[in-house]
Structure 1
């Protein structure tokens, strides 16, 4: 989860929007996200549900997060259980355990302002639109060195074709 600055405040409520995003680490594809004005457990469960809708959970899927209270709630744990996913959390006070999420948040905060006229989001709706546009770009256009300078979408399509070839009829 990361904070996004809004133009109507300076990093204090109501000047914030909160983003929760889940990323498929093998493909670098952002598979589920949600932006909200507050950060209740529902923000996290909505993002995770979107991830499960976009691609069904593989057996023993590992879902990693930091130790925020939203990732410890009953609804979040039940959603993981319902999809056969395993909860993984960072060690206490160790930001390096969650480096991928930190990197994704940093990328969003540095790449989005570069293409915008304003460095801040005008309001919550502007933040939601901008994040949607960014993740669309991230998944379908941005090349990632870790996946051989391919887009996450292209890598996902290649893995789907490979799985189809290896799947018995």
Structure 2
């Protein structure tokens, strides 16, 4: 498995499902905060998988990838680029995103190179904070 640090191999891919980027952010609710993991297709800049939970775990991240995989047609290995967060370098994550389907790429320490997904999270955070107050009242 390639987990070499650096920028995504192709920051402007020419086709869908060649490079995905992922990250985790937190959102505030009325009584606590929750975690949003998003998976973005770098070609279209669309969110293709996501998961919101009140706890942060590798399982949480893998559920976001399950959503992405269910929504996409993958015909060749996809580069997955992430930061070096604990969830993205764990054994469970690497096993849950196998090398037969994914090529792992991660940012250099202290240099995220994940601007697209981070910009998306910054853009939606004000609105999702309001929405999450409604959603988490049901939990």
Picking from 64, 68, 76, the partner of 2:93 is 76
Consecutive unaligned residues of structure 2, counting only runs of 5 or more, are: 1-23
Q: By how many angstroms is 1:80 displaced?
A: 1.9
Matched, 1:6 2:17: no
Unaligned runs of 5+ in 1: 9-14, 129-169
Alpha-carbon distance between aligned partners in 2 of 1:29 and 1:40, rounded to the nearest angstrom: 23
The one-character-per-residue Cα deviations of 1:66-102 (angstroms, maximum 9, x if unpaired) are 111101122211222165210111110113x111121
Work out which of the two has the higher radius of gyration on C-alpha atoms and give 1 or 2. 1
Do the aligned partners of residues 127 and 28 (structure 1) sit closer, same or farther apart at CA in structure 2, a change above 3 Å counting? farther
CA gap of 1:79–1:120, structure 2 versus 1, over 3 A, is closer
Query: How far off is 1:58 after superposition?
Result: 3.8
Would you say the 8 A contact 2:29–2:136 is kept in 1?
no
Is 1:25 matched with 2:42? yes
If asked which structure has higher relative contact order (CA below 8 Å, sep 6+), I would say 2
Q: Select the residue among 77, 81, 106 that pairs with 1:64.
A: 81
**Bigger share in helix:** 1
Q: How many residues get paired? A: 116
Runs of 4+ in 1 over 6 A off after TM superposition: none
Distance change in 2, residues 1:119/1:108 (3 Å):
same
- Kindly report the root-mean-square deviation, in angstroms, between the aligned alpha carbons of the 2 structures: 2.4
After the TM superposition, which residues 124-163 of structure 1 pair with which residues of structure 2 at under 5 Å, given as runs? Answer: 125=136
- Choose the corresponding residue for 2:105, options 73, 85, 88: 88
Taking the aligned partners of 1:123 and 1:38, their CA distance within structure 2 comes to 18
Match of 2:70 in 1: 53
2:116 is aligned, of 80, 83, 100, to 100
Deviation at 1:17, TM superposition (A): 0.4
TM-score by length of 2: 0.73
